[in-house]
Chain A
Amino acid sequence: MRVWWTLMWAVALASCTSVQPAEDPVYLGTSMAKLSDPNAPSSKGSPLNSCHASLAALEAAEVDSTFERTAVPNMPNDPEWHWVRLSLPLVDPELQMMEVATSAIDSMVVVMACGGTLIQRTEAHGAGRRWSWGRGFGNFPAFDLPEEPCADLVAYVGVKSGRNIPLPVRVHERSLLERWQFNRDSFFMFYLGIMSVMLLHNLFLFVTLEDRTYLLYIFFLIGVAGSQFVLHGYSWVVGMESDSWLGLRFVHLMGMYSGVTTFMFIQRFLDLKRLAPGYHKALNYILWSYVFALGLLFFGDLNLAYDVINLPASASILILPAAWHTMKRGHKAARFLIVAFSAFLVAVTVFAIREFGPFPVIGGVPYNTLTVYAMPVGSIIEVILLSLALGDRINQFKRESELAREEQLRMSRLNEQIMQEQNQKLEERVHERTEALQEKNESLERALSELRLAQDQLVQSEKLASIGQLTAGIAHELNNPINFVSSSAQSLRRDFQDVAEVLTALEGLEPSADNLATAVDAVHALVKRLDLEFTMKEIEELLSGIEDGAVRTSEIVKGLRIFSRMDGDETTDANLNDLLESTLVILRSSLKDEVTLSVDLAPNLVPISCQPGKLNQVFMNLITNAAQATQGKPASERHVRVRSRMLKDGSHTWVQVAVEDDGKGMSEEVLADMFDPFFTTKEVGEGTGLGLSIVRGILDDHHAKLDIDSAPGKGSTFLISFPA
């Protein structure tokens, strides 16, 4: 750091000495008199307040006695024309030129007279232009002196500007003026170089670190450097050389820009918002005052605007205590700022005293090379120091990030510890929960097995109910034939006794006997008494009844044999018609007094591989359901239809069985739930609700398809398609 400081001062001193001319210029302010119009108490309307003031008027004007004679006099900051009379010593007009070494002038008129005779009148307008004189160019206006030598040459110089005007008038050899201009140019090239380096350096840092402070520094830097260039007459570089509207205001705008960027940068750099909110607020007020100045500049008086701009600039003295305050609060880089701003403030003070005249306490400073260059040099020091401070921010960032990393590490360790504790707690809770879940699981399993048992019992009871229905049906179906067969047999015996009696009587007839006729009559009487004709007819009837009974009994037994496989699981080839018939044998008697049953079985059914007992259960269930669905109507209007048929569908052959009824039908809700176990539409105790669920299971085992067509009031059709 010390090396930097040393280097800095070396650069500053070198820059000063490099522009130190061989001999300092001589300013002719002491030979100057400010003119005033005796006839006009206010300058408005005076012939002097014009660029066209005639020589006569100028000569007639009085000398302003209040005007203080110094080497470089200062014209007040107002929008009027100011005239001075300058008696020029005897000069060599061939070699010498008159130069007004300032860029503060917007418009200028030089009237030269020799012994009351006008020699030449030169006008120039436009601030900050690259004035052309003779063979060269310069930042400051310069005028050729008259070619004829004159012993009492008088120059009337009229100036007007939007700011105050120092009048450093000098008469020197052209070559010397040109050398000084060259020196100035060299110095500002060097200045530009340093500023560019700083700018690029910080631009790079901005791009790399993405810290807005660097951007604000760059703006600030542009403001500082720009102000110096403008103040030293270089605004022509950016085309602001005319007396155009913008050209006349460029110095003001530059000052404002510089002020605004400086304050914003300081706010940011010192982190005033956080560390010193009071100062931050104060600087904000100052920033707002620039808006006021901007308004004045656009819509009002340039000179007033200049004062308004300078006022907040002088408030930049606030920056020092603000920096001090933040330094006390731990902002280390603030000390850089204090040094940098102190240096700059010294330079500014020098500039201000030089420009605006001596201050009561400090006194005046000479208008010389050192004071002219004080500001740019001060600004260089300021900019470099602040850049160093910003560079130091990187170190601070590093330290801060290291601290942050350490903090992070500490936090992550802490987190790890907490996580471990939490994990342990979590594990304990998971363990507890698992145990609880296991217990629940076990009780659920118990409940499930109980439920399964209950379901098995229900299935069993459903089966028993079917068997009960079966036995009841069979008993009734068998009772009728047994009844009339056995009864007929007894009656037959009696009838046979009658016949036998007649036969015996016939046997007793002897053809040779005398009383044959009487005997035959007796037999006839017997036949008549026994009503043998009726008896013979009755015997026929009884015999056919017995035969019929035998056939029906054997049919029932056959059906029973087929049906009795209900509980068996064996798979065999069976004709579905046989199964349907055996089921109908059992159901017929119980359905007989309830519904009209129509059966339409296709004769050519192919046998299919199935579990006949299970299918009987299916058919019995569906037909019984169909009959029950028709309840509530008169028996003659209740129809159940059972059909079977073969269906060829491409390469597939289906054996279809349909059970139709014209009963009450089913709603969509019932259709959706009908196969659910325990779902029933019957009264409590009338059905287990397992029938259709068992049917579904059996049909699924047979890979059979079940289609149901039903709607409330329309009846239902259950169509089963078995793959053949």
Chain B
Amino acid sequence: MIHVLYLDDEEHNLTAFRAAFRRDFNVYVTTSASEAERLIQEHPIEVIISDQKMPDVSGVEFLELMMKNHPDPVRMLLTGHADIDAVIDAINKGRIYKYISKPWNEAELRRLVEEASDIYRARKRNKAVSENYGRNLQAIRAALVDLRSECEAHSGLDGAEKARWSDTLSRMIGWIENPESDFHEGT
């Protein structure tokens, strides 16, 4: 289930949102910005939706703050009226993913939330893969270094063969250390 947080000063909107999406997502709603931040800290929120016009803090301000404190969740701005200044600020300062205008289209909003969630998850997966890849590469490098020293210490190989193996292994290690370098270039 996707974890969605919705912040709006209008109680009815919160009710309607929860009623619309509670079957599909894990919905967290609140009228308070501080409560919203607390929910983000406590739950694995993937998507943050905020209304723009609120008495204490505007949606842009809130999203800007979230970007700094919790950069992972995907941010979306919801507003009743196209306020071009708010949109510009939201994109530049809040780095939002999407901008949604009221009244929302339930299907579209669902789709957007799912897309946002996909992005969130893809990013997360990407990060994991990238971490794994790095870890594996280091393991391979360590194995290659071992292999090279074993090869150099091997008695059954003549000098020329040793040198050829050692050169190949060194190039492989060098390539792992610096992927930009040319693998075929001799040291």
Contact = CB atoms under 8 A, between A and B. Distances in A.
Contacts of B80: 475-477, 479-480, 483, 589
A548 B12 contact: yes
A486 B17 CA distance: 11
- Residue of A472, A480, A482, A541 with most chain B CB atoms under a 10 A cut-off: A480
Contacts of A480: 10, 12-13, 80, 102
B156 interface: no
Interface string A634-671: 01000000000000000000000000000000000000
A106 interface: no
A501 to B, nearest CB: 13
A635 B53 CA distance: 13
* Size band of the interface chain B makes with A: 20 to 34
B52 to A, nearest CB: 8
27 contacts: A472-B81, A476-B53, A476-B80, A477-B80, A479-B102, A479-B103, A480-B13, A481-B12, A482-B102, A482-B103, A483-B16, A483-B103, A483-B104, A484-B13, A486-B103, A487-B20, A487-B106, A488-B15, A490-B106, A494-B23, A495-B19, A538-B18, A538-B19, A541-B15, A545-B16, A549-B12, A593-B54
A333 interface: no
B17 to A, nearest CB: 7
A596 to B, nearest CB: 9
A498 to B, nearest CB: 9
Interface of A: 472, 475-477, 479-484, 486-488, 490-492, 494-495, 538, 541-542, 545, 548-549, 589, 592-593, 635
Interface of B: 10-13, 15-20, 23, 53-56, 58, 80-81, 101-104, 106
B1 to A, nearest CB: 15
Given A479-B102, A483-B16, A593-B58, 10 more contacts: A486-B103, A487-B16, A487-B17, A488-B19, A491-B19, A491-B20, A542-B15, A545-B12, A593-B55, A635-B56
Contacts of B53: 476, 589, 592-593
- Residue of B16, B18, B102, B103 with most chain A CB atoms under a 10 A cut-off: B16
Contacts of A476: 53, 80-81
B72 to A, nearest CB: 28
Nearest to B81: A476
A495 B19 CA distance: 8
A484 B12 contact: yes
A670 B102 CA distance: 41
Say whether chain A's binding surface is mostly helix, strand, loop, or mixed.
helix
A480 B80 CA distance: 6
A335 B81 CA distance: 122
A93 to B, nearest CB: 155
B141 to A, nearest CB: 54
Contacts of A589: 53, 80
A439 B8 CA distance: 67
Nearest to A477: B80
Contact of A592 (B13, B55, B104): B55
Contacts of B55: 592-593, 635
B54 A484 contact: no
A475 B12 contact: no
B10 to A, nearest CB: 5
Contacts of A495: 19
Contacts of B54: 593
B136 to A, nearest CB: 45
Contacts of A479: 80-81, 101-103
B58 A487 contact: no
B139 to A, nearest CB: 48
Nearest to B9: A592
Contacts of B58: 593
B81 A491 contact: no
Contacts of A541: 15, 19
Contacts of B19: 487-488, 491-492, 494-495, 538, 541-542
B19 to A, nearest CB: 3
A487 B17 CA distance: 7
A488 B81 contact: no
Contacts of A538: 15, 18-19
Contacts of A482: 102-103
Nearest to A548: B12
Nearest to A495: B19
B84 to A, nearest CB: 11
Nearest to A545: B12
A548 B17 CA distance: 16
A487 B81 contact: no
A475 B81 contact: yes
Contacts of B104: 483, 487
Nearest to A596: B55
B81 A483 contact: no
A593 B80 CA distance: 13
B128 to A, nearest CB: 34
A484 B56 CA distance: 21
Contact of A484 (B16, B23, B81, B101): B16
A683 to B, nearest CB: 15
B102 A488 contact: no
A542 B16 CA distance: 7
A538 B22 CA distance: 11
A199 to B, nearest CB: 114
Nearest to B53: A593
A589 B54 CA distance: 10
Q: List 4 tightest A-B contacts by C-beta distance, closest first.
A: A491-B19, A479-B80, A483-B103, A487-B16
Contacts of B15: 484, 488, 538, 541-542, 545
A43 to B, nearest CB: 138
Nearest to A595: B55
B20 A483 contact: no
A296 B55 CA distance: 121
- Residue of B13, B53, B54, B102 with most chain A CB atoms under a 10 A cut-off: B102
A592 B57 CA distance: 11
A491 B54 CA distance: 25
- Residue of A542, A548, A589 with most chain B CB atoms under a 10 A cut-off: A542
Contact of A488 (B12, B56, B101): B12
A506 B158 CA distance: 89
- Residue of A472, A549, A593 with most chain B CB atoms under a 10 A cut-off: A593
A485 B102 CA distance: 11
A507 B117 CA distance: 41
Contacts of B16: 483-484, 487-488, 491, 542, 545
A480 B101 CA distance: 10
B96 to A, nearest CB: 18
- Residue of B19, B53, B54, B55 with most chain A CB atoms under a 10 A cut-off: B19
A635 B80 CA distance: 20
